Structures are given as C-alpha cells and as structure tokens.
Chain A
Amino acid sequence: GAVVSQHPSWVICKSGTSVKIECRSLDFQATTMFWYRQFPKQSLMLMATSNEGSKATYEQGVEKDKFLINHASLTLSTLTVTSAHPEDSSFYICSAPALAGKDTQYFGPGTRLTVL
C-alpha cells in the first residue's frame, strides 16, 4: 500500500530553537497533507492542512507563526516548530490521502519532539 514517511522519528531540542519535521509520500503524489498533534493517551488533533503550491489552512487555535508549514512539492510537506518551548513537546503525525478527494488517509509513523 501507499507509504508516508516522516523524518526525524524523534528529536530533542533546547527551548527557543526551531525544529523542522518532514513528511514524504513515497510512492504517490499528494496535493494535500495533514498535520496532527497527539498528546499522551489522547487523540490526534488536526493542526493544519498543507496545500501544495498555496498557503496552509490552520485549525482554530493553532498559531500560524509558530507552526510553519510548507508544501514544497507533490511528495513533501514540512512542519517547522519555531522558537520551541517545553509545552510544544508532543508527537507530531502527518497524513496524506492517496488520491485527491479520497477519504482514506495514509499516516506517517510520527515524530516525537521533546523540548528541554
């Protein structure tokens, strides 16, 4: 089946630094990708929709300037956590629909971010 990869799988950084997380669709193209945040023992919360060639669409309450999203190509979306703080520590997951308009998503394995 379709594969979505994320890099890095985990990262530890100091407070105040920025961290970039990559999401790639390995064997299909994705004009849209989604970024989620998962807190321990909780569900996935949709943060934003990444759109190839245009601006990302952010969910209510998500800071655009803190979570920068760039969808540079049909197989790559990046999430940059700027000026990270300990409260940004979380598990970040991306997903992509296999074909535009399809309601089945393929998920990446996630990236564990720990901010010291």
Chain B
Amino acid sequence: GNSVTQMEGPVTLSEEAFLTINCTYTATGYPSLFWYVQYPGEGLQLLLKATKADDKGSNKGFEATYRKETTSFHLEKGSVQVSDSAVYFCALSVRNRDDKIIFGKGTRLHILP
C-alpha cells in the first residue's frame, strides 16, 4: 500500500540554523510528493511539490528533491527563521481519478530566536 514516514518531532533549532526533516515513502505506482505546512491556528497550506524523479520543489527558501532510488523527499532549508515554526507534513498522491493524498504524521518545528 501507500504510506509516508517522516521523522518524529518536535524539532527545536536556533534561528539561522540548517534544517532537514526526513521523509520516505512507499507507493504502488508513480506518486507525486508534497510538503504541507500548518502554522499555528491555520489550515494546511501546500509548501512545495515534485511530480517526477529528480524534480526539486522549492518555496520560501525550502527545498526537497524527489529521489526515486531512495524513495525519499527530505525537506531542507539553509537558514530557518522564527516564523518557520509550524507543523510540516510530508505527503504523496498516486495519480488516479481519486486524487487522494496520504500524509505522514507531521513534524513539529520550533525555532528559537
């Protein structure tokens, strides 16, 4: 079946530190991969996505590369800010008529000033 595994949090970093949140997946078929972010008190927002192997999704300084050989989609940012504090969800969608998304458990990120 389809599933997503991401590192458990919470992750606490100082401002300007380098961030990596690991994500691996299993999928039947050829999935699209996503990172969603949920800021305190808000709904989920799409942060970035990649639809095929070796694609790199990027947004707001965050990046993730679709690695088919390692079935991974790790999220990285070179210098985090306090405003990046949120919960980050790795997710996949296997292209079919249903458009369902399978989410990881989420990683809570705390950035200290």
Residues of A participating in the B interface, judged by any CB pair closer than 8 Å: 4, 32, 34, 41-44, 46, 49, 57, 93, 95, 97, 100-105, 107-110
Contact = CB atoms under 8 A, between A and B. Distances in A.
B99 A105 contact: yes
A39 B93 CA distance: 21
B95 A103 contact: yes
B43 A109 contact: yes
Interface string B26-41: 0000001010100000
B69 interface: no
Interface residues of B, number: 24
Contact of B43 (A46, A93, A97): A93
Given A32-B98, A42-B106, A97-B99, 6 more contacts: A46-B100, A46-B102, A95-B101, A103-B51, A104-B49, A108-B43
A56 B21 CA distance: 35
Closest CB pairs A-B (n = 9): A109-B43, A107-B44, A43-B105, A103-B93, A43-B103, A107-B43, A103-B32, A44-B103, A97-B99
Contacts, number: 54
16 contacts: A32-B98, A34-B99, A41-B106, A41-B108, A43-B104, A43-B105, A44-B89, A44-B103, A46-B101, A95-B101, A103-B49, A103-B93, A103-B101, A105-B46, A107-B36, A109-B43
A108 B42 CA distance: 9
Contacts of B100: 34, 46, 49
Interface of B: 32, 34, 36, 42-46, 49, 51, 89, 93, 95, 97-106, 108
B44 A101 contact: no
A108 B43 CA distance: 6
A61 B99 CA distance: 20
Most B C-beta atoms less than 10 A away, residue of A34, A101, A103: A103
Nearest to A57: B98
Nearest to A100: B99
A41 B104 CA distance: 11
A32 B96 CA distance: 13
B99 A102 contact: yes
A114 B57 CA distance: 37
